[in-house]
């Protein structure tokens, strides 16, 4: 089975972007961690990043079709700043019934007030927040467990 790992805007800058907040690991390091975790779980990890809201929406819609056919178990999704702004991403997830684990590298609740609201949480099956990039491994395990329930 396949698991999608989706990353939104500015996550291509991981490693150099605010390392005190997001750590030293690059997005390539995170992709490698996800693939290794996928091997342990028997999952093919499909790892993607886009800075564009519409591209993320297209990928979510395609993932809904793949999940419905049983080929995909769902997605780990770090929506970046779109977390706090995007009704369209919420609608896409809800519209196709995609199983999503929302993930944030930082603990958004200890940060600015505008990061405390998430448009994704109401349509997420689970949420992983504040574990650094290691959270991606936790989220993949959680996704697999929820999909097997
Ligand atoms: C983030 C938190 C968001 O508030 C921020 O806009 C990001 C990254 C995180 O992984 O901690 O881009 O999703």
- In the chain, what's the furthest Cα-to-Cα distance? 41
CA angle 141, 114, 140 (to 5 degrees): 5
| Nearest atom within ligand 1 for CA of residue 81 | 6
Q: Is the ipTM of this complex over 0.90?
A: yes
91 is in an annotated binding site: yes
CB of 106 closer than 8 Å to CB of 21: yes
Specify whether the CB–CB gap between 41 and 148 falls below 8 A: no
Q: Is 124 helix (H, G, I), strand (E, B) or coil?
A: coil
- Is any ligand 1 atom within 6 A of the Cβ of residue 108? yes
CB 125 within 8 A of CB 99: yes
Beta bridge partners of 49: 7
Residues of the chain scoring pLDDT < 50:
none
Question: 50 among the known binding-site residues?
Answer: no
| Residue 135: per-residue pLDDT | 98
**What separation in Å is there between the alpha carbon of 103 and the centre of ligand 1?**
9
Structure confidence by residue, pLDDT tens digits, 82-116: 999 999 999 999 999 999 999 999 999 999 999 99
Domains identified in the chain and CATH numbers = 2-148 (3.40.50.9100)
């Amino acid at each position: 089975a396949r698991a999608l790992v989706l990353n939104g805007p500015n996550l291509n800058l991981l490693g150099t972007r605010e390392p005190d907040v997001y750590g030293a690991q690059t997005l390539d390091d995170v992709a490698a961690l996800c693939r290794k975790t996928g091997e342990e779980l028997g999952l093919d990890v499909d790892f993607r990043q886009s800075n564009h809201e519409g591209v993320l929406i297209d990928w979510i819609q395609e993932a809904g079709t793949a999940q419905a056919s049983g080929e995909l178990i769902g997605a780990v999704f770090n929506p970046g700043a779109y977390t706090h702004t995007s009704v369209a991403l919420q609608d896409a997830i809800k519209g196709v019934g995609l199983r999503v684990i929302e993930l944030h590298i930082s603990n958004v609740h200890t940060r600015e007030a505008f990061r405390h609201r998430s448009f994704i949480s109401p349509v997420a099956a689970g949420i992983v927040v504040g574990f650094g990039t290691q959270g991606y491994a936790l989220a993949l395990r959680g996704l697999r467990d929820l999909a097997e329930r």
